[in-house]
Structure 1
Amino acid sequence: MDESGLLPVPPHVIGPTWRKRTSGEWYLPEYTLADDVVNWMFAYLTQPSGPRAGEPFIPTFEQFRFLTWWYAVDESGRFLYRNGTLRRLKGWGKDPLLAAMSLAELSGPVAFSHVEKGKAVGTPRASAWIQVAAVSQDQTRNTFSLFPAMASRRLREEYGLEIHRTLVYSEAGGVIEAVTSSPLALEGKRPTFVVLNETQWWLESNAGHEMAGVISGNVDKAAYGACRSLSICNAHRPGEESVAERDYEAYLAIQAGEAVDNGMLYDSLEAPADTPVSELAALAEDPEAYAEALNRLRRGVEIARGDAEWLDVDTIISSILDIRNPVTESRRKFLNQVNAVEDSWIAPREWDACRELSLRPLEKGDRVTLGFDGSKSNDWTALVACRVEDSALFVLRAWNPERHGGEVPREDVHAAVVSAFATYDVVAMRADVKEFEAYVDLWGERFGRKLKLKSDAKNPVRFDMRGRKKDFALAVEAFYDAVVERTVVHDGNPILRRHIVNAVRRPTNYEDLYTIGKATKDSKRKIDAAVCAVLAFGARQEFVTSKKNRGRGVVILK
């Protein structure tokens, strides 16, 4: 896939469905079976409800683009994606789309045949076995109740379909079956397509985790890699450890370089991060400000619904503004936003609101401050720069020890620090000492004279967080305030984002101050790049208020 010449993707868009080229055209794969599949749907399926009920089924343009990517293949006909997650707001039409896909998987041209005139051609799959899996019968009923209305007379007659409450048969020997919370019943099956329905409710307590594990095993052992699985969900509730949350965490881990991409398609459309909800109540006595905020909320809902124009925006807004509905649930259901966990430091939407799509890249000679946090093998090591001019944060390098044989390459880290000093005008550096003390001493000796601001009286780059807990807590507080006020900006680096949202608040012995840490000591959710960002930003704030910066016209707040 040629990813050159693509427009930047705003943080509320995940996946290729809404990506465009700089020419304005949609970004689409070179080879896909979607054209054949959608044409088959038009010929054999009917719209189940709404003003067009009974007419030929036509997916929206948004749904069509998703299908284009889901059925994308390479030159040899192998699917680009082995598994996927489609996350959309409540009422978007996930069940009708998955019902149409299930019927197409049963009898339509969903298997690669050949390439003809530069186009991939599909053919029906032999012995199709489709499973619609859920943790309750009600969830499978959402999909199975659509089959009688969507299967046209032509489809029933030509393919000999028999539609029952939890089973659909075809004369060719294919079957669609509903499966619920019985992992043992799933063990050993060899399906060709599996739908995981409403995975935000798949929990350990209702056997959702075990079901997902069995399904993953069945998909992996399918002959010729023919089986694929697709999950549908709304935004999950953080901390519940649902399968939807695990899928989201897996996607973030892949983006941050913490995991290998095994062919996962994660596609989501949220309302922009700055869409107001709770803020409206505080503006009730200011008609002008309230109207402006209400318009932003309306725009957020319109963006989140995508092409699902049957969703009434006024009705959704009324539900969101109903004080009986928790704000977190409104954001999850109707804005498709993942909220922060209770003790989180910075919410995903707060961080995403600070991203600037047109941010000037870090360039040679830029005046910066550096933040460094090192580890030998357990945690990550990272080097982050904060540009003095505009408080913009950039991850210069980050090292995952698992990608380096279990231990961070120290000489590589040293080379990155040397390169940063050679490339940029570094005016201050704060480097934690633990596990990198010898190198921190070397950096202080080698670069100390170049620095305008000294971090420590004995070593100009040394910032030992074990002995400067209050200073770090103050920096954490200042960083959070800057995020809320959007006086710090970033380029959307996935590693920094993941580490920022992983960080949780931790109490200190200093009145109302708090620090940040991992969720647990042994948590795999790393925060090292976030610590570096705090150190770099704190150094920048101290520098711009120091005597060394007088007369340079740089201010803390933009």
Structure 2
Amino acid sequence: MYETIDGNATKKDARYLAITNAYLPGEDSVAEKMREAFEKILEGRASDIGFMYDSIEAHPATPLTPEAMRIVLPKIRGDAVWLRVETILQSILDTTMAPSRSRRMWLNQIVASEDALYGPAEWDVLRDEALRLDPGDEITLGFDGGKTDDATCLVAVRTSDMAAFVLGLWEKPDGPKGDGWQVPRAQVDSAVHDAFRVFDVKAFYADVALWESYISEWDATYGEGLAVKAPGKDAIGWDMRSSLKLSTMAHERLMRSVFDRKLRHDGDRKLRRHTLNAMRRSNNYGISFGKESRESPKKVDAYAALMLAHEALVDLRARGKKVRKRTGRGFFL
């Protein structure tokens, strides 16, 4: 029906209006597709086709209490004054109704599906758009690399306040531009060298899959100057395939930092998308993560890079050694 409406509107050079409550993630509804298309435009991954997306949503941390609802509901309903606050409040307080349903229906919040690790409420509350990563800041790095279909990402976490920043994200473009696309490895290599040149990198954990030769070169160049070493054969390489236990424990530590609101981020939309795409995967050691399916186009590589940067920071705080900075000067006696 949506495609027919769009086709008819195009023939008549007309416009159409779509009105709905917040969609349920994972249903692949038209509303979900519209939201994702709008976010692609904001990220610069899709052309601005001229549609307006307007959504008044309650703050992610809004509690479902009578006091808060009497303040928030009139703001969310806007000019829909026929919606009575006290009647809606009765529905929200009805214990037979899931809180997630109340948040979608009455607060217009996009609530995560049951298998998702996080919803917008858990992630967006960590956003601080005033955060900036300045030259010379002390950081840890995390890297997850792909080749063609999977994305490649380099993430930094500042050691002083656990603030996360995306230093680079390379992923296959949508549509015809993605035909035959491959990760620009020279650009990725340059981004890593730039990170070491601009910032004070204390630790660097990189998943070795598909990037073994580059990681060996990075280790040879920078490994000796790092304050903590990865649990692999060199200072940087972290093989996420070799130890399910280590990866699961690292992921649970990241989850705890998110839920305890210790981690912060600057609101990067790409990191947000990858994080909200991450699905819960349980194993014998705890809770890991993955894509919604093996062939899913919804990537999680930036979240994987964040996990490695976060784990590097955890290890730095637990067992990091003091590294003497090289001055470039020599002394002769």
Counterpart check, 1:326 vs 2:92: no
- Once the two structures are TM-superposed, the CA of residue 514 in structure 1 deviates from its matched residue by 1.9
Equivalent position of 1:429 in the other structure: 204
1:274 & 1:318 partners in 2: Cα distance? 20
> What is the aligned counterpart of 2:115 among 343, 347, 354?
343
Equivalent position of 1:390 in the other structure: 161
Equivalent position of 1:276 in the other structure: 63
Distance change in 2, residues 1:297/1:355 (3 Å): farther
1:8-28 CA-to-partner distances (Å, cap 9, x unmatched) read xxxxxxxxxxxxxxxxxxxxx
2:137 & 2:312 partners in 1: Cα distance? 15
Counterpart check, 1:240 vs 2:27: yes
| SS of residue matched to 2:321 | helix
- Once the two structures are TM-superposed, the CA of residue 342 in structure 1 deviates from its matched residue by 1.2
Counterpart check, 1:482 vs 2:257: yes
Distance change in 2, residues 1:357/1:316 (3 Å): farther
- Once the two structures are TM-superposed, the CA of residue 472 in structure 1 deviates from its matched residue by 1.5
TM-score using structure 1 length: 0.54
Equivalent position of 2:316 in the other structure: 543
- Once the two structures are TM-superposed, the CA of residue 387 in structure 1 deviates from its matched residue by 0.6
1:300 & 1:382 partners in 2: Cα distance? 38
| SS of residue matched to 2:52 | strand
Equivalent position of 1:118 in the other structure: none
> What is the aligned counterpart of 2:87 among 288, 293, 315?
315
* Contact residue 280 and residue 287 of structure 2 kept, 8 A: yes
* Contact residue 257 and residue 495 of structure 1 kept, 8 A: no
Counterpart check, 1:213 vs 2:23: no
* Contact residue 270 and residue 303 of structure 1 kept, 8 A: no
TM-score using structure 2 length: 0.89
How many corresponding residue pairs? 319
1:173-228 CA-to-partner distances (Å, cap 9, x unmatched) read xxxxxxxxxxxxxxxxxxxxxxxxxxxxxxxxxxxxxx111222333444xxx322
- Larger gyration radius, structure 1 or structure 2: 1
Equivalent position of 1:253 in the other structure: 40
Distance change in 2, residues 1:426/1:245 (3 Å): same
Distance change in 2, residues 1:214/1:377 (3 Å): same
Counterpart check, 1:497 vs 2:272: yes
> What is the aligned counterpart of 2:152 among 381, 390, 394?
381
Distance change in 2, residues 1:475/1:227 (3 Å): same
1:257 & 1:508 partners in 2: Cα distance? 37
Equivalent position of 1:367 in the other structure: 138
* Contact residue 479 and residue 537 of structure 1 kept, 8 A: yes
| SS of residue matched to 1:229 | coil
Equivalent position of 1:172 in the other structure: none
Percent sequence identity is 42
Amino acid at match of 1:267: D
1:502-539 CA-to-partner distances (Å, cap 9, x unmatched) read 110112232xx121111011101111111111111111
- Once the two structures are TM-superposed, the CA of residue 444 in structure 1 deviates from its matched residue by 0.8
| SS of residue matched to 1:401 | coil
1:316 & 1:549 partners in 2: Cα distance? 58
Amino acid at match of 2:48: D
Equivalent position of 2:327 in the other structure: none
Equivalent position of 2:295 in the other structure: 522
| SS of residue matched to 1:456 | coil
1:458 & 1:537 partners in 2: Cα distance? 20
| SS of residue matched to 2:193 | helix
2:50 & 2:195 partners in 1: Cα distance? 35
Amino acid at match of 2:5: I
| SS of residue matched to 2:118 | coil
- Once the two structures are TM-superposed, the CA of residue 311 in structure 1 deviates from its matched residue by 4.1
- Once the two structures are TM-superposed, the CA of residue 275 in structure 1 deviates from its matched residue by 1.0
| SS of residue matched to 1:337 | coil
| SS of residue matched to 1:532 | helix
1:352 & 1:411 partners in 2: Cα distance? 33
Distance change in 2, residues 1:476/1:298 (3 Å): farther
1:325-354 CA-to-partner distances (Å, cap 9, x unmatched) read 221211111100111111111111110111
Amino acid at match of 1:514: I
Distance change in 2, residues 1:469/1:303 (3 Å): farther
Q: CA RMSD in A?
A: 2.0
Structure 1 alignment gaps of length 5 or more? 1-210, 278-292, 551-558
- Once the two structures are TM-superposed, the CA of residue 482 in structure 1 deviates from its matched residue by 1.3
2:241 & 2:50 partners in 1: Cα distance? 42
* Higher alpha-carbon deviation: 463-472 or 494-503: 463-472
2:146 & 2:197 partners in 1: Cα distance? 24
Amino acid at match of 1:475: A
* Residue pairs, 1:18-417, within 5 angstroms: 211-222=1-12, 226-277=13-64, 294-306=66-78, 308=80, 311-358=83-130, 360-402=131-173, 406-417=181-192
1:216 & 1:241 partners in 2: Cα distance? 18
Counterpart check, 1:533 vs 2:306: yes
| SS of residue matched to 2:97 | coil
2:115 & 2:141 partners in 1: Cα distance? 28
Distance change in 2, residues 1:447/1:306 (3 Å): farther
- Once the two structures are TM-superposed, the CA of residue 258 in structure 1 deviates from its matched residue by 4.0
1:374 & 1:491 partners in 2: Cα distance? 22
Counterpart check, 1:507 vs 2:303: no
* Higher alpha-carbon deviation: 373-382 or 250-259: 250-259
Distance change in 2, residues 1:300/1:230 (3 Å): same
1:411-444 CA-to-partner distances (Å, cap 9, x unmatched) read 0000000001111111011111111111111111
- Once the two structures are TM-superposed, the CA of residue 242 in structure 1 deviates from its matched residue by 1.6
